[in-house]
């Protein structure tokens, strides 16, 4: 009876919880697993992301965003992929690795309560925001079609930032829009990690193939989290697309501008929500499934060595 109630997911959790506190190989491995899973999912879903970004900036329909990209030509379709590819790989490294390390500090042997998962997720999101906000800033400028002539490359953007003073490089350059980024990332990570494992565990008990619970759990969590925080996502995209001393409205002015340009209607802020759902479902579903698969592979090799 005991073996019948132990799903593969729970066996994995039991293995991580009962490992000797002195052995930190699992926790260092979590950084590598996060990097690989995020790299692969980012590359696969970048076209969807770019269409969504155009909607957030220009407040246009899906067909119009696709038409803009098609008109610019295929040579520009993957323009701006390198910053997100690098940043998302680093994001996976920091997000999963930091979360795992913080969770181990809060609860070395488990079980991990909702409070532990929420706190570890929140703090990992803070680390992620501080480390990766500059990458997102450059990416958002690159993907704004209105700035292709003025800033044709990453180097041209960095050159502009370095023309500011030291404080300007941070507040107007690399960390433009940092506070909504911090709020979005910390809350998003807390929500994702709080409910990812419970959903995955409940699905694993149904006898589904190993990859299905992880895929569904990641998709559901990513979708809900993104929809809850979508107004912050739109605000960040608009704030970080601005560049230059003369076009830097404050946080409140930026929020007011987004509200006004969307006709002061909530459903217009959520314009493009269908693609947001699709992108979030695919990205976090693939990321979670890949991470879970790699985690299982690592566990199997660890058991064979032992």
Q: What is the pLDDT of residues 16-55, one digit of tens each?
A: 444 444 444 446 788 989 999 999 888 878 877 788 777 7
Q: Inform me whether the pLDDT recorded for 225 exceeds 80.
A: yes
Q: What are φ and ψ of residue 90, in 5° steps? A: -65, -35
Determine the distance from the C-alpha atom of residue 170 to the mean position of all C-alpha atoms in its chain, rounded to a whole number.
22
Helix axes 211-228, 273-305, angle to 10 degrees: 140
Taking residues 62-79, what's their average pLDDT? 78
DSSP classification of residue 244: S
Q: What is the CA radius of gyration of the chain?
A: 21
pLDDT in the model for residue 193: 95
Contact 113, 59 (CB under 8 A): no
Q: Inform me whether the pLDDT recorded for 167 exceeds 80.
A: yes
CB atoms under 10 Å from CB of 188, counted, come to 24
Taking residues 99-127, what's their average pLDDT? 91
| 145 confidence band (pLDDT: 50, 70, 90) | confident
Q: What is the pTM of this model?
A: 0.79
| 134 token code pair | 């500059």
Rounded to the nearest integer, the mean pLDDT of the chain is 83
pLDDT in the model for residue 11: 47
pLDDT in the model for residue 16: 47
Contact 189, 95 (CB under 8 A): yes
Q: What is the pLDDT of residues 183-198, one digit of tens each?
A: 999 999 999 999 999 9
Listed in sequence order, the residues at least 6 apart from 114 whose beta carbon sits closer than 8 Å to its beta carbon are: 194
Higher pLDDT, 165 or 10: 165
Q: How far is CA 11 from CA 2, 233, 296, 297, in A?
A: 12, 37, 10, 14
The Cα 108–Cα 206 span in angstroms is 29
DSSP classification of residue 77: T
Q: What is the pLDDT of residues 202-220, one digit of tens each?
A: 998 888 888 899 999 999 9
Q: Inform me whether the pLDDT recorded for 121 exceeds 50.
A: yes
């Amino acid at each position: 009876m005991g073996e019948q109630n132990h799903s593969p997911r729970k066996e994995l959790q039991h293995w991580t919880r009962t490992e000797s506190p002195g052995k930190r190989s699992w926790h260092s491995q979590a950084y590598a697993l996060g990097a690989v899973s995020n790299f692969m999912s980012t590359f696969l879903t970048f076209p969807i992301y770019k269409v969504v970004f155009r909607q957030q900036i220009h407040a246009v329909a899906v067909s119009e965003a696709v038409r803009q990209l098609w008109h610019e030509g295929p040579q520009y379709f993957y323009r701006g992929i390198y910053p997100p590819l690098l940043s998302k790989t680093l994001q996976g490294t920091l997000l999963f690795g930091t979360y795992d390390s913080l969770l181990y500090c809060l609860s070395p042997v488990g079980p991990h309560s909702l409070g532990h998962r929420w706190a570890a997720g929140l703090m990992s999101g803070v680390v992620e925001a501080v480390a990766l906000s500059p990458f997102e800033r450059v990416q958002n400028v690159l993907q704004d079609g209105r700035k292709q002539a003025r800033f044709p490359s990453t180097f041209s953007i960095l050159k502009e930032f370095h023309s500011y003073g030291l404080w300007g490089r941070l507040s107007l350059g690399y960390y433009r829009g940092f506070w909504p980024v911090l709020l979005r990332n910390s809350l998003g990570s807390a929500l994702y990690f709080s409910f990812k494992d419970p959903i995955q565990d409940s699905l694993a008990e149904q006898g589904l193939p190993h990859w299905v619970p992880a895929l569904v759990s990641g998709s559901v969590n990513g979708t809900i989290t993104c929809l809850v925080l979508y107004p912050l996502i739109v605000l960040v995209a608009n704030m970080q697309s601005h560049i230059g001393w003369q076009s830097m409205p404050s946080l409140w002015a930026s929020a007011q501008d987004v509200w006004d340009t969307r006709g002061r209607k909530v459903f217009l802020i959520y314009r493009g929500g269908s693609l947001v759902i699709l992108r979030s479902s695919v990205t976090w579903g693939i990321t979670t499934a890949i991470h879970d698969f790699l985690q299982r592979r690592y566990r199997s090799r660890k058991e064979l060595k032992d």
